[in-house]
A = this chain, B = another copy of it.
């Protein structure tokens, strides 16, 4: 007998990092910023006109698009907004990847890319990173339906150079190349300038890491106006009012406080560099991270052991079961005090398990 179950879209869902909520926890598992949003954001929230919430938001989120354009020296029609960079990337996949040829992204990268490809029935191939977790440029020279590169890459933390990106783009002028810069603010480098040279390059960034607003779900893409228009056509066919009024207001307010932004990013970087030294001292090895996390493996103690014992102590890091990286931990950078506690506990675990 036929049933509605026959027509279900069955899909292996993405499993997000757990969101524990314990008073004494150190949460280093989802790459959030340990510092609160800017005082400008707080002020904007406290003074917000609640009555306006009865009205739909502006479908274009113009206030926020304008603020981002101003911040990056662009025109507003070069900016696309979404409900976090996941929403932005999902819409980019739907908009640009309608070829029968496979899209390309590395075997080890943000674990949502293959989930979207499955969801939207886009063929894909995953060239393997080399043994040092670097991308191999020649892997991206073949015919394809599009290219997606997280830079710096997650969960490896490795940054590829602008020359590398330029080379890949030059070999792929006939498809859209997405550069996912979720962590770029911690690297001091961005491929934003390439959007001026190449009409097929889309840069994706987020408020969830460097701007301390993961809870407000704000992501954006930057590219030539034709790319942005095509994404907006798909966006408006899916949900014409994606951004809450408060996301628009708080997102714009955050950009007004460039000093606070620079200061918190600098603090995270300083703590990251301290943590790197400590991890080395404890016998960890890792590629030099340019993000707000470190992807590390220990010379003798298995990642799973460290993960489990830390968890018992309410310190949460991320462990992926995936092949090639099953002995690695991804450790988000918290405050200096949080990282000191993390190092202290980890040192003990290693002493007890050597």
Contacts and interface: CB of A to CB of B under 8 A. Distances in A.
A306 B213 CA distance: 45
B215 A86 contact: no
Contacts of A118: 237
Given A32-B56, A50-B41, A175 B245 contact: no
A98 interface: yes
Contact of A98 (B8, B15, B240, B243): B8
A233 interface: yes
A48 interface: yes
Interface string A171-214: 00111100000000000000000000000100000001000111
Interface stretch (A69-77, A87-95, A279-287, A320-328): A87-95
A12 B236 CA distance: 9
Interface of A: 1-16, 19, 27, 30, 32-37, 41-42, 45-46, 48, 50-59, 83-84, 86-87, 90, 94-99, 115-116, 118-119, 145-146, 173-176, 200, 208, 212-217, 226, 230, 232-247, 250
B32 A55 contact: yes
A45 B246 CA distance: 10
Contacts of A16: 56, 59, 236, 240-241
Contacts of A57: 19, 214-215, 217
B41 A4 contact: no
5 contacts: A2-B174, A4-B175, A37-B51, A54-B214, A217-B243
